[in-house]
């Protein structure tokens, strides 16, 4: 339980940094300097006003300096990151695997936020994430299940990349190259846990995408050509497979 609580608290802190990355990377700004600032007046945010979730609530969602409204999205991303980190620490069977799956969860939240805003999955995040997953899963495999899981992860990453590349070539308007590159990262993470996790993650991503697309089209009263970023659905499918892949696979087999 202590580990779950610590993971959740760490997620709240990293959720605050996720907000910075989501805002700055698409604008080609440094994620290090300057420090956190009000997006309206540019005033530096003091450390005691930068406590995840709590500061936004105490300031009633407004900048202390100019009083301008600060979007509720900021505390929601902090809270989401904390909850996802806690769930990951609770559900991932091998504690040594958390060195790979906690960073994965953070990256997926960041990429989802950017994709929703800009319909973009930046190479400067996706490519390093892929390299990091190869290394972190290698370390996790050495500490846990052995080299076989790591080799399976590499094969899964290649298979997912190849499959999504074919779909992108067949339907370039329906699948972007950012999704193709991200699929390799997700293939690594899911195949490490097992081939069933990979299949379930991809299936759930497309299922979530189909349901989400229908909802968006209905709400916007648009046509089926409405552009909807697929990155968040890939993230949803992946995390559902990471957290509940085994019970989903067992239920699938029973039916």
Taking residue 217's Cβ as centre, other Cβ atoms within 10 Å add up to 15
Average pLDDT over residues 135-143: 97
pTM of the model: 0.93
Report how far apart, in Å, the C-alpha atoms of 240 and of each of 84, 118, 181, 198, 199 are.
10, 24, 20, 11, 12
What DSSP state is assigned to residue 204? Answer: H
In percent, how much of the chain has pLDDT > 70? 96
CA distance 194 to 183: 16
Render pLDDT for 188-236 as a digit per residue (tens, 0 to 9). 999 999 999 999 999 999 999 999 888 877 777 555 555 678 999 999 9
Report how far apart, in Å, the C-alpha atoms of 170 and of each of 134, 176, 182, 184 are.
28, 11, 18, 18
Query: HSE of 134 in the Cβ direction (CA atoms, 13 Å)?
Result: 10
Taking residue 153's Cβ as centre, other Cβ atoms within 10 Å add up to 25
């Amino acid at each position: 339980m202590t580990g779950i609580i610590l993971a959740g608290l760490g997620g709240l802190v990293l959720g605050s940094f996720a907000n910075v990355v989501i805002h700055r990377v698409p604008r080609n700004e440094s994620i290090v300097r300057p420090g956190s600032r009000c997006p309206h007046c540019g005033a530096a945010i003091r450390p005691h006003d930068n406590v995840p979730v709590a500061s936004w609530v105490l300031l009633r969602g407004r900048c202390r300096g100019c009083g301008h409204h600060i979007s509720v999205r900021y505390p929601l991303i902090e809270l989401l990151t904390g909850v996802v980190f806690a769930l990951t620490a609770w559900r991932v069977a091998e504690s040594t695997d958390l060195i790979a799956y906690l960073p994965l969860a953070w990256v997926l939240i960041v990429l989802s936020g950017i994709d929703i805003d800009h319909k973009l999955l930046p190479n400067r995040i996706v490519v390093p994430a892929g390299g990091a997953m190869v290394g972190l899963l290698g370390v996790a495999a050495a500490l846990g299940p052995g080299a076989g899981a790591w080799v399976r992860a590499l094969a899964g990453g290649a298979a997912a990349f190849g499959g999504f590349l074919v779909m992108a070539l067949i339907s370039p308007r329906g699948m972007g190259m950012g999704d193709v590159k991200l699929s390799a990262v997700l293939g690594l993470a899911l195949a490490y846990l097992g081939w069933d996790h990979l299949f379930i993650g991809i299936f759930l991503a497309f299922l979530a995408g189909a349901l989400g697309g229908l909802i968006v089209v209905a709400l916007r009263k648009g046509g089926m050509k409405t552009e909807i970023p697929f990155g968040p659905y890939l993230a949803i499918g992946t995390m559902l497979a990471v957290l509940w892949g085994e019970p989903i696979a067992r239920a699938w087999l029973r039916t």
